[in-house]
Structure 1
Amino acid sequence: MKAYIKAFVLPSLFMVAIISQVTAQTRRTTTTNRTVKTTRTNTAKVETTKSSATKRIPNTRVTYKTPKRKVVSVRTLPNRTVITHRGQNYYYSNNKYYTQSRGRYIVIAPKVGFRVHVLPTQYTRVRFNTFNYYNAQGVFYVQVNNEYEVVDPEIGTIVYELPDDYEKVIIDGLTYYEYANILYEKVQINGARAYEVVGIIDMEYK
C-alpha cells in the first residue's frame, strides 16, 4: 500500500501543484497584459481627441456668439502706407492694416504669407518651443531673411492680451476666443490671465 502511494498518489499531487502554479501565473500574466493594453488604448484615445480638437477646425463647427462680426472702420487714414499682397491692397496706418470698401477703410488682419520689411510698432516677442514670434495686434510674424512673414502660431503658444475686436465663439458647447481665425482658450499662468492658442479655423473647409 505504501509503495502504491509513493508510486501513484505523490506524483499525481506533485503534478496538480505544478499545474495550479502555472495556471495562476498565466492568469496573472493575462491580467497584466490586459491592463497594459487598456492603459495604452485609453492614452491613445486621449491623445487623438486632444489632437483633433486643437488643430484646424472646420468653420462649419464654429458658432459666433454675436450674429454679426465686429467691424472697425474709419473714413480717412492719416499717413497711410499701401502694401500689395497677392493682388490685394492693404493700407497700413495707426499700427493696423485696413482694406477699402465703399469709401471706408475696414480693419483687416493680413493673411498667412503676407510679408513686410518693418514690423508694426508696439509688437511683443513671443517664444514657444523653438519658435520666435513677433505678435502685433493679434497677428503673428516670423523673421525670414530681411523680412517678416505672417504665420499661424503653433498650438500651445501663449499671449497675455487679445485685440479689442476679438470674437467669442462656441465649438462643441465650449467657449473660445477668436481673432484672425486663431482660436484661444483663457488660462491662468502664475496667477495671471493668459490666452493659449488651441486651434486655427479652416475657412476653406467645405
Structure 2
Amino acid sequence: MKTTTPTKLLSALFFVAITAQFSAQANRNNNDNNNKKTPTTFSKSSTKNTYGKSIPKAKVVYKTPTKKVTSVRSIPNKTVVNYKNQNYYYDNNKYYTQSRGTYVPIFPKVGFRVKQIPTNYKKIQYNSYNYYNVQGIFYLSSNNEFEVVDPQVGTIVYELPADYEKVTIDGNSYYEYANILYEKIQINGTRAYQVIGIIDID
C-alpha cells in the first residue's frame, strides 16, 4: 500500500489554498463591478454628449449674463393662446405675454398650440417623431394644430437662429436657444448641432 509523503501532501495543500484565494478574489471583483453605479456627470464627449434630458439651470453659465428684452406696444395680427387659464399672444412664430399695457416677448411653453405656423418651417425626423422646426421652435402636428414640444435628445439641426446664446457647463462650451441645449458636431464634414438636453427653468 502506497503512502503519501509529507512533501506531496504539502504541495497538494498549497495548490488548494492558492486556488481558493484566486476564486475568492474573482468573486470580490465581480461583486464590486456589479455594485458600481455609473455617476451622472456633465463630461463632454468628442462626438456627442449624453446628458439626461433635464439640465439644471444653475449649471448653465451664459456668456452674456443679461439679455435685453424689448417690449412692443401692439401686435397687429395677434392670436390669443390660452394655456393653463392664462392668455398669451402669438404672431408669426413669436410669443408674448402682456404686462402694463405692453407685450413682452417670451419663448413658448411646451404645450402651447396654434392653428398655423410660418411656411418656412423645416421638417426634422428623429426616431418616430416628425418635427416642424421654425426658427428654433419645435412643433408636432396634432388634431389640425401645431403643439410646441421639446425635441428628443439626439435630434440634429443644421442651423440655429441668429440670436442663440453661448453657454458653458462645467467649463465645456455649448449653444442654447429656447432652453434647448445643443452641441456642435460634424456630419460628413458638415457642421450640425445636436440636442443634448433641455434646461430646467422651473
Alpha-carbon contact 1:70-1:167 (below 8 Å) kept: no
* Amino acid paired to 2:111: G
- The Cα offsets for residues 86-118 of structure 1, whole Å up to 9 and x where unpaired, read as 22232313x444455677655432110001233
The residue number in structure 2 matching 1:84 is: 81
Stretch moving more, 105-114 or 69-78: 69-78
Alpha-carbon contact 1:83-1:92 (below 8 Å) kept: no
Taking the aligned partners of 2:171 and 2:150, their CA distance within structure 1 comes to 24
- For 1:54-73, what aligned pairs fall within 5 Å after superposition? 54-71=52-69
- Alignment match of 1:28 (pick from 19, 22, 45): 22
Taking the aligned partners of 1:29 and 1:185, their CA distance within structure 2 comes to 46
Alpha-carbon contact 1:56-1:201 (below 8 Å) kept: yes
Q: How big is the shift at 1:184? A: 1.1
Taking the aligned partners of 2:27 and 2:125, their CA distance within structure 1 comes to 42
The two structures have a TM-score, normalised by structure 1, of 0.75
SS in 2 for 1:127: strand
Higher helix share: 1
* Amino acid paired to 2:20: T
Taking the aligned partners of 1:103 and 1:30, their CA distance within structure 2 comes to 76
Q: 1:8 to 1:34 in 2, by over 3 A?
A: closer
Taking the aligned partners of 2:113 and 2:57, their CA distance within structure 1 comes to 25
Q: How big is the shift at 1:151? A: 1.2
- The Cα offsets for residues 132-186 of structure 1, whole Å up to 9 and x where unpaired, read as 2221111111222332211112222211111111111222222221111111111
- For 1:101-140, what aligned pairs fall within 5 Å after superposition? 107-140=105-138
Q: 1:177 to 1:70 in 2, by over 3 A?
A: farther
* Amino acid paired to 1:85: N
Aligned Cα root-mean-square deviation (Å): 3.1
Taking the aligned partners of 2:186 and 2:24, their CA distance within structure 1 comes to 44
Structure 2 gaps, min length 5: 43-48
How many residue pairs were aligned? 194
Alpha-carbon contact 1:140-1:151 (below 8 Å) kept: yes
